[in-house]
Structure 1
Amino acid sequence: MSEEKKEEKMDRRKYIKYVGAGAAVAAAAAIGYSVSELTRPPPPPPPTPTTVVQTVLKTETLPGTTIVRTEERTVVTTASPTPPRVLIRFMCHETDEYTIKALSEAIEAYEKENPHVKISFEPVATGYQWSKIMMEYVAGKAPEIATMAASFDVLSLLDMGILYPITEIVKTYPIESYFPGTLFARDGEQYALPFDVNVGTLFYRRDIFDAYGIKVPETWDELVEAVEKARIDLDGDGKIDLWPVFPGGRGMEGVWEYILGLYWTNGGKIFDDKFNVLLDSPEYLPKMVEALQVVKKLVENSPPGADGWAGWADTISHVKAGKASIFFYHGARPIDALVRANPTIAEKIANVLFPVKKKGDVPHPYGTSDWFVVLKPSVFPEEAVKFLKWFYQSPYWMKFQTSVPLHFVPANLEIAKKPEYLNHPIISKYYHIVETILEAAKTSSDFLIEPGNKVHNPYIAKIRAEMIIPDMFHKYYYGQMSAEDAIKWAASELRKIVGK
């Protein structure tokens, strides 16, 4: 791809993501999309009954006579309409082999019940849903159903007006049975169906903590003490074999999630509901200083290079290899991986609520979800709603929900209490982990709505893209600035984004 083409794509994303749907279409036209590319053909009209008119001869013998009469009659018959062919495109970022198998079984069953429907399952890598959906939307080829892994992407689609309401699906269960922050309501309608909760908890090796007399931490001081003791040389060769694992790199996941969790637990807030920046105010700046100081100690005690780990891949690899003594994760995917790769160690893992500054405080871990959405500009959104409703209310949903059992922790408490969920062999064996995540979800927060706020913050996508929170940490971690100055720098950058 030429540099010119790369620049065109970058500009298009910027217009779409930060300006809105109208500007997206204008931007597309400006960089070479034709009108025909932006106009997707409408769905076929509803089928009409087929009427057939036939003229037939009826011959009969009159009763009591030998007279034969022949009569010409017109017969009108109406054939039942044949349903139109429906193609539902289903874009999904959950590409674990067991998840794909569960979804494929559901799709096959639905197609069998509805022969006129064909569902095209289209895997897409996590993190690329937004750009792929936007490009296809601008080209007039939006998929009917998509899964989303970022709350701010769901909000952006909602603000653009291109999500189709799915209230009847969400209300399969009472609204209050969904965890806080997992729903997207507007004007009395629901627009996203959450299928899991990914909430931060602290994992540790029970056998190691018992053997080395390490206290399971409840407070920040105990956390730092535990992390310092959890660097274990198992064979006495002077090399660390078991590590605390806390990635500190510049990325969209990892360090900024537990920075926010610690900060919120400390009573901090970055924005108010009018999007005024509070981070560097006299009330909140000291709270972030304390959070950054704790995170610095966590990263310093992690394996060499952890300050450059930008995501969760390194955490998962250390857990699978049996090299992690204590680590943070939102959700429990590393344990799912460990169950498959090293079940003996998996049985020794436990998790607890993320530590608080002092006992009695309420933890506010970072937490988010994954969602199904239906896109309004697609050809068959109504048919997509029918399928999604059928799926959510069918036995196939539980097969999907338990396809990666410790990762897909239900976003709805009623689903989490179902016997078919609780009796799943892996979930029943590791329910202590699931139970802790479910408990943590009750007080978790997404950056989209901080603790105590009530309004979705539309600037979060831009803030994440600019890496302001990780950069604030790095300026402090590498000694470029004091914690106070790094926070003031971050607050200044935030104000540039929100225009205040």
Structure 2
Amino acid sequence: MSDDKKTGDLVPVVAESIDTRRRRLTVAAGVAAAGTLASPWVHAQQKTIRFLNCEPSRDSVRAMKVAAAEYERVSGVRVVVDTVPPDQVYDKLQASISAGTPYDISGLIFVAHVVLLAEAGKLVPLTKMVNKHKWGPRILFPVKGEQYWYPYDYNFAWMYYRKDLYAAKGLKVPTTWDQFADNAKALTAGNNFGVTIPIGSNGAGQWLAPGFMWADGVKLLDDKWGLSLDTPPMKKTFSGYLDFMKKLSPSMPPGMSQALFATVIGQYSGGQTAMAPYAGRLMEVLEDRAPELAGKTGFFMYPDSVGKNVAVNHGYDGWVVVKTPMQEEAMKFMDWFTENQYINFLHTAPLHFQPPRMDVYDDRRWRAHPLIEKHGELVDFMRSILTRNDVIIRSVDTEGPAPDVRPGKMFESYGVMEAIQSRLIKDMPADEATELCIRKLKASIV
């Protein structure tokens, strides 16, 4: 994901509301189903493919347009690339489908959107293309046995830390919650703080705060779509997580309930905090804005309470092919692009776009990027997330036994984040905050 997981709502409403900015997605999918064949596509006659890109950085847009130009040169088929921010891509795609002029290919950042579109019959299976490669864990989201999603990156969240400040204080990389909290306290003095962790009801909070609870074995849904959190053992574990976050809060800068992605990057790169969770983007920012800190920065995964497991919070992005009169040409382009231009695209965010395809890690073309060569230790660490048996990879929106809309609804409820806020800001007892979270999550998936 491009640092954001904002989504449209997943709760049914009347169809008249679909042209509002944040559509109710269940109904929007139904409206799209009715409108897909409403009018002809002029671009089909022109041998033109329309690609909706949701990676808006200058380098990523340029890479997509260079690929489009090269494909037109070798195939004669024109590829038009439109770009929107990631939190707007699903609405834009739905609007195009409803208008009868759908994009042929689109990025998506949320598994629930893939499920909605696949179940509505809007997507072309990519199973054959996907099966060409070996993939890392928890990145393929099959719907009824078919793959409709081609993942192009992981965006895991792990913990960064200042190695120089750790050395000055005689600290070791923590393997338990208590060690982490003690380190954060030792690194807090005056206007300098031990750690930045967003706790707001937003994408930053829900991506960067839950890693500790995943490490300790929290599961929100069981294998039969029951609410695991509403069981005595899980309540106890989740309450312990809330108490840990409360213990950690004095070592955080003020205003964490309002913190966003830029807050985390700014506070760490500016030297205000000694630890911060993020994906590879943070190291890219350090190389650009604070290169003196890049060599002083280490990384580790979220620890659990007893030193047994570690975790990362899941993040991901991918492409889908939409059912249109140009779907055959779109499939040809995707097959060509993923074999010939994929690595060039990954290089536009070389540490942030972590490859989900395992073959890429051994590809000398990918490894030739200067930042990948320089930060080989970080790259090996990233790869180890996919190969170690003790690493837990979870996120609210990927909970449950299979890809489904229900975890997406839980994500949008922000029940976990409201429980954290209740414990830290309102000083609500952990067991009461846990019950609040349970009620919120239950209501979201009814």
TM-score normalised per structure 1: 0.80
Q: Is 1:211 aligned to residue 168 of structure 2?
A: yes
Structure 2 counterpart of 1:422, from 367, 376, 379: 367
Compute the displacement of 1:420 (Å).
Answer: 1.8
The one-letter code matched in structure 2 to 1:159 is E
Change (3 A) 1:258 1:21: closer
Question: Quick one: distance in 2 between partners of 1:314 and 1:141?
Answer: 38
Deviations along 1:242-279, whole A, 9 cap, x unmatched? 5521112121232x335533222212211112221121
The one-letter code matched in structure 2 to 1:478 is I
- Match of 1:249? 200
Alignment of 1:357-372 (within 5 A): 357-359=305-307, 361-372=308-319
Deviations along 1:76-101, whole A, 9 cap, x unmatched? xxxxxxxx521111111111112122
- Match of 2:434? 487
Question: Quick one: distance in 2 between partners of 1:382 and 1:25?
Answer: 20
Question: Quick one: distance in 2 between partners of 1:138 and 1:314?
Answer: 37
Question: Do the aligned partners of 2:229 and 2:235 also contact (CA within 8 Å) in 1?
Answer: yes
Where structure 1 has 5 or more consecutive residues not aligned to the other structure, the ranges are 27-34, 46-83, 233-238
Percent identity between matched residues is 25
- Match of 1:390? 336
CA RMSD of aligned residues (A): 2.5
Compute the displacement of 1:400 (Å).
Answer: 1.0
Question: Quick one: distance in 2 between partners of 1:8 and 1:448?
Answer: 22
Question: Quick one: distance in 1 between partners of 2:43 and 2:71?
Answer: 21
Change (3 A) 1:401 1:11: closer
Compute the displacement of 1:449 (Å).
Answer: 3.9
Compute the displacement of 1:240 (Å).
Answer: 2.1
The one-letter code matched in structure 2 to 1:108 is A
Q: Is 1:141 aligned to residue 101 of structure 2?
A: yes
* Aligned residue pairs, count: 428
Deviations along 1:152-207, whole A, 9 cap, x unmatched? 2222222322111112321231xxx3112211223443211111111121110111
Change (3 A) 1:25 1:411: closer
Question: Quick one: distance in 1 between partners of 2:32 and 2:157?
Answer: 35
Higher gyration radius (CA): 1
> Is the partner of 2:157 in helix, strand or coil?
strand
Find runs of 4+ consecutive structure 1 residues off by over 4 angstroms.
5-8, 23-26, 42-45
Question: Do the aligned partners of 1:366 and 1:445 also contact (CA within 8 Å) in 2?
Answer: yes
Alignment of 1:268-279 (within 5 A): 268-279=218-229
Structure 2 counterpart of 1:413, from 342, 358, 368: 358
> Is the partner of 2:167 in helix, strand or coil?
helix
- Match of 2:182? 225
Question: Quick one: distance in 2 between partners of 1:103 and 1:441?
Answer: 27
Structure 1 counterpart of 2:230, from 280, 288, 292: 280
- Match of 2:210? 260
The one-letter code matched in structure 2 to 1:163 is L
- Match of 2:89? 129
The one-letter code matched in structure 1 to 2:343 is M
- Match of 1:113? 74
Question: Quick one: distance in 1 between partners of 2:322 and 2:221?
Answer: 30
Q: Is 1:301 aligned to residue 248 of structure 2?
A: no
Compute the displacement of 1:285 (Å).
Answer: 0.2
Question: Do the aligned partners of 1:91 and 1:143 also contact (CA within 8 Å) in 2?
Answer: yes
Question: Quick one: distance in 1 between partners of 2:22 and 2:154?
Answer: 31
Question: Do the aligned partners of 2:111 and 2:397 also contact (CA within 8 Å) in 1?
Answer: yes
Question: Quick one: distance in 1 between partners of 2:111 and 2:249?
Answer: 27
Identify the structure with the greater strand proportion: 1
Deviations along 1:459-491, whole A, 9 cap, x unmatched? 122222222221121122222632111211221
Compute the displacement of 1:11 (Å).
Answer: 9.8
Compute the displacement of 1:282 (Å).
Answer: 0.8
> Is the partner of 1:190 in helix, strand or coil?
coil
> Is the partner of 1:267 in helix, strand or coil?
coil
- Match of 1:322? 271
Question: Quick one: distance in 2 between partners of 1:200 and 1:87?
Answer: 38
Range that drifts further, 367-376 or 454-463: 454-463
Question: Quick one: distance in 2 between partners of 1:241 and 1:152?
Answer: 39
Identify the structure with the greater helix proportion: 2
The one-letter code matched in structure 1 to 2:126 is I
- Match of 2:6? none
> Is the partner of 1:90 in helix, strand or coil?
strand
Question: Quick one: distance in 2 between partners of 1:440 and 1:213?
Answer: 27
Change (3 A) 1:389 1:113: same
The one-letter code matched in structure 2 to 1:368 is G
Q: Is 1:193 aligned to residue 140 of structure 2?
A: no
Change (3 A) 1:338 1:484: same
- Match of 1:39? 38
- Match of 2:326? 380
Q: Higher relative contact order at CA 8 Å, sep ≥6: structure 1 or structure 2?
A: 2
Compute the displacement of 1:295 (Å).
Answer: 2.2
TM-score normalised per structure 2: 0.89
Question: Do the aligned partners of 2:413 and 2:441 also contact (CA within 8 Å) in 1?
Answer: no
Question: Do the aligned partners of 2:150 and 2:320 also contact (CA within 8 Å) in 1?
Answer: yes
Question: Do the aligned partners of 1:194 and 1:371 also contact (CA within 8 Å) in 2?
Answer: yes
Question: Do the aligned partners of 2:410 and 2:445 also contact (CA within 8 Å) in 1?
Answer: no
Q: Is 1:104 aligned to residue 65 of structure 2?
A: yes
